[in-house]
Amino acid sequence: MRSQEEIVSLVEQQIDSITNATMREQIRRFLVPPTLHFRDWEYAQSPTFPCWTVAILMPGRVAIA
């Protein structure tokens, strides 16, 4: 499993690859320190899988994981 530091680096690399500067800055406004949690996944052999929340758009309602 990746570390929090690796997730931060991966997210930054992906955001940096966006050519639209306005879009990059808009996305960065919602970034949060990555938080590991486990989500249910009924289509795999394991009932849960690790997931990192990296951005929150509307607290309690919309996040990017």
Q: Which residues contact 12 (CB under 8 A, 6 or more apart)?
A: none
Segment 24-47 mean pLDDT:
88
- Residue 47 sits in which domain range? 4-64
CA 10 to chain centre: 9
Would you state the pLDDT for residue 1? 85
Question: How many domains does the chain contain in total?
Answer: 1
CA dihedral 19, 36, 60, 16 (to 10 degrees): -10
Q: Is the pLDDT of residue 11 over 90?
A: yes
User: Residue 9: which pLDDT band, with cuts at 50, 70 and 90?
Assistant: very high
Would you state the pLDDT for residue 44? 66
Q: Which pair of tokens denotes residue 37? A: 């949690």
pTM for the whole structure: 0.80
